[in-house]
Structure 1
Amino acid sequence: MTLGLINANPVLRSLTSESANHVRDIRDPEHPYSLEQLSVLSEESITVDEKLGRILIMFTPTIQHCSMVTVIGLCLREKLKDCFPPHFKVDIKVAPGSHADEESVNKQLNDKERVAAALENPNLRQLVDECLYSSEL
């Protein structure tokens, strides 16, 4: 039963072998599927410039009023923190036109102090960890 889900019937896609390995296994906060399976992320939505030490991720929530959009962004940021050297600059944004509060979400996800404060919340931290590490169990 799917009580409480905002998007109870998400569209799924098959995994591809060319997907970005660092973030491919992050689980969606509401579904037992990965962000890649839900088409929230794709290889094309991730840009890594190793020379400049920059990473840009543009993700697309499954619905325009997704309440878990900041959790997804926090998961992406935390996963990349574990995979790349600390000098890399990471920008995480929702794809243009994909979320009703796009500007606000982008500002939150790229503000170091807001991100740090969010991850100090034990409940939010637990949810992020479940999304990141549930596939490893």
Structure 2
Amino acid sequence: MTYRELTALCAASARRQEHGAFRAALTADSPESMTALLRDVLAGRIRAGTATCSEEVWARPRIVFVFPGQGSQWAGMGRRLPATHDVFRGTLSACDAVIREHTGWSPLGALCDGEEDWLSDTERVPPAVGDGRGAQ
């Protein structure tokens, strides 16, 4: 399969096909290796490094993660999550303690107190967005 054929297949799979009950995430360094991985998945052979899940996983409530990068943050992002998700609150608190120890600034405080001036601060945004914050 050529690179062009592979990109067309991916685009068609994402936009034009009925989405089934099975998902697979693959990484490859060439169209040829991706073709081999896809053939293996279709044959039921799941190689190491291939992530798969079934419809049962998708039936759970959805949580969307926002991946860091300047401009991906917004005011109020993830503000309700600490109050509703214990694991998130615990992880965020642990990350907050480390960041606070090294910088004197609290991402958790900014999140919960509604500070917004940090949103354009390029020294604060990457660790704050990357500390596990998600959008509901």
TM range (shorter): under 0.3
User: Looking at CA atoms only, which structure, 1 or 2, has the larger radius of gyration?
Assistant: 2
Q: TM (normalized to structure 2)?
A: 0.24
Q: TM (normalized to structure 1)?
A: 0.24
